[in-house]
Each structure stands twice: as C-alpha cells, then as structure tokens.
C-alpha cells in the first residue's frame, strides 16, 4: 500500500468512525429519552398507586374511627343507663325501707296488729290458722292464704303508688 492509499484509508476510516459515533450518539440519545419517558411513566404510575393506597388507608381509617366512636358511644350509653338503673334501684330500695319502717312503727304503736288479725279472720274465717308476730300477720285456711306481713304490706303500698314512683328519679 502506498502512502496515498493509507491516507485514503485513514480518511475513510475517519468518515466511518464519525458515522458510527453519530449513530451511537443518536442511539444513546434515543435510549436516554426512552428511559426518561419510562421513568416518568413509572413515577406517575407509582404516584397514582400511592395516592390510591393513601386514599384507601384514609377511608379505612375513617371507617374504623367511626366504628370505634359508635362502639364507645354505645358503651357510654350502656354505662350511663346502668348507673341510672342502679341509682333508681337505690331510691326504690330506700322508699321500700322507709315504708316498711313506718309500717313496723305503726304495727308496734297501736291496735293495728289486732285489726290485721281481725281482717285475716274476716277474710278466711274463724277456723283459719293465724300467725301474729313482729313482722305482721298471715293466715291460712286450706289452700287459701292471706299475707299481711310487713314485706307484703310494703309491696302493696309501693304497687299502689304506681307510676308516681318514677317521679322520684325523673324530678
């Protein structure tokens, strides 16, 4: 090969080299643009998925909080109702105790005991077995029974008050 041929070969190689470098740069730019596009698409997809997850978690959290709130309100309502019923029971028991004590006082103070014995005999007849004691009077004749004990008289007195007893805890 002559010198001229070498120079021509070098020039041709430079041309080929430039063309290959141009193609490689163009290919690299295209791949880089494609990669950037893919990254942008994946980032957008990841953001959309993250938003879905966050929105879902927020909705689930709100639903759980609402369930918890309802449950706690229910528990509080039951607690308050239990306390109300307990207070009503205390008031009711106090009323019964006072009535029973007053009936006991009346029974011991006068002729109420004798009148109760006479009343039982009047209801059951003179053949009735009558029990007369500090807690009242009761009588039995066959299958019939009359109970005028302090407890029975207290029950009747409270029953006679009817719905007015409720005014004790609604006032």
| Burial (CB count within 10 angstroms: exposed 0-12, middle 13-18, buried 19+), residue 121 | middle
Give the model's pLDDT for residue 121.
94
Give the model's pLDDT for residue 4.
64
The Cα–Cα gap between 161 and 166 comes to: 9
The Cα–Cα gap between 103 and 159 comes to: 15
Q: What is the pLDDT of residues 61-104, one digit of tens each?
A: 999 999 999 999 999 999 999 999 999 899 889 999 999 999 99
Low-confidence ranges of the chain (pLDDT < 50): none
Give the model's pLDDT for residue 147.
94
The Cα–Cα gap between 98 and 154 comes to: 9
Q: Name the 3-class secondary structure at 147.
A: strand
The Cα–Cα gap between 92 and 168 comes to: 8
The Cα–Cα gap between 147 and 138 comes to: 5
39's torsion region: left (phi>0), alpha (psi -120 to 50) or beta? alpha
Phi, psi (deg, nearest 5) at residue 126 = -70, -20
Give the model's pLDDT for residue 161.
85
Give the model's pLDDT for residue 2.
61
> pTM for the full model?
0.59
- The domain ranges of the chain are 3-170
Give the model's pLDDT for residue 13.
81
């Amino acid at each position: 090969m002559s010198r001229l041929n070498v120079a021509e070969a070098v020039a041709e190689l430079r041309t080929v080299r430039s063309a290959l470098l141009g193609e490689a740069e163009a290919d690299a730019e295209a791949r880089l643009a494609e990669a950037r596009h893919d990254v942008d698409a994946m980032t957008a997809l990841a953001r959309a998925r993250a938003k879905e997850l966050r929105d879902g978690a927020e909705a689930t959290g709100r639903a759980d909080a609402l369930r918890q709130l309802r449950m706690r309100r229910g528990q509080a309502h039951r607690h308050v109702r239990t306390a109300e019923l307990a207070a009503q029971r205390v008031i009711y028991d106090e009323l019964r105790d006072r009535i029973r004590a007053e009936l006991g006082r009346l029974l011991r103070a006068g002729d109420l005991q004798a009148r109760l014995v006479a009343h039982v005999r009047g209801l059951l007849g003179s053949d009735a077995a009558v029990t007369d004691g500090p807690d009242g009077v009761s009588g039995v004749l066959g299958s019939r029974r009359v109970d005028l004990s302090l407890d029975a008289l207290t029950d009747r007195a409270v029953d006679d008050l009817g719905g007015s007893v409720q005014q004790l805890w609604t006032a």
